[in-house]
């Protein structure tokens, strides 16, 4: 099932990058928003609004830090450095590999003679750990462990 959405943003002409945003806490400030938003062409957080008038306004005008919300952020760029653009987002389902649960991960990584981390004593100790949180939603290995695990093909 594919879904498409359209939004508007800004393109930094010189770098060719879609302008994103950064946030900064204003917690404890007097008469200001809780979080200030600032445009940043080097950010990985994409700034996308629902209509082109909003994007055109932000291209032309900067909001002071104490009122700079998502829709009207602080803009450190000159209007001529930016271009309003239409952004189309298309979603498509992705087939992902089945991620191992805690027990599968330990057995395949530490109790598998083909693994470079083979250590059956360590595997037994980890599998019998009485202090492990039983909540399966809490990862028992890191994302980086998973990348290494998948790269090894275990």
What are the domain boundaries of the chain? 3-91, 102-152
3-class state of residue 57 by DSSP = helix
18 close to 10: Cβ distance less than 8 angstroms:
yes
* CA 83 vs CA 6, 22, 63, 145: distances in Å: 17, 19, 18, 41
Residue 76, pLDDT above cutoff 90: yes
3-class state of residue 138 by DSSP = coil
User: What are the pLDDT digits (tens) for 82-116?
Assistant: 999 999 999 998 898 888 988 899 999 999 999 88
**pTM of the entire structure?**
0.71
User: What whole-number distance in Å separates Cα of residue 81 and Cα of residue 75?
Assistant: 11
């Amino acid at each position: 099932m594919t879904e498409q959405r359209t939004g508007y943003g800004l393109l930094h002409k010189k770098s060719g990058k879609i302008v994103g945003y950064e946030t900064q806490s204003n917690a404890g400030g007097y008469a200001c928003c809780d979080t200030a938003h600032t445009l940043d062409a080097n950010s990985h957080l994409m700034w996308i609004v629902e209509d082109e008038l909003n994007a055109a306004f932000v291209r032309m005008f900067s909001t002071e830090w104490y009122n700079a919300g998502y829709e009207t952020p602080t803009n450190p760029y000159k209007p001529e450095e930016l271009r309003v653009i239409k952004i189309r987002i298309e979603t498509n389902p992705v087939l992902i590999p089945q991620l191992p649960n805690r027990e599968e991960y330990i057995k395949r990584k530490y109790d598998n003679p083909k693994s470079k981390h083979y250590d059956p004593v360590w595997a037994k100790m980890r599998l019998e750990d009485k202090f492990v949180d039983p909540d399966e939603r809490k990862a028992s290995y890191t994302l980086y462990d998973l990348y290494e695990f998948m790269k090894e093909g275990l």
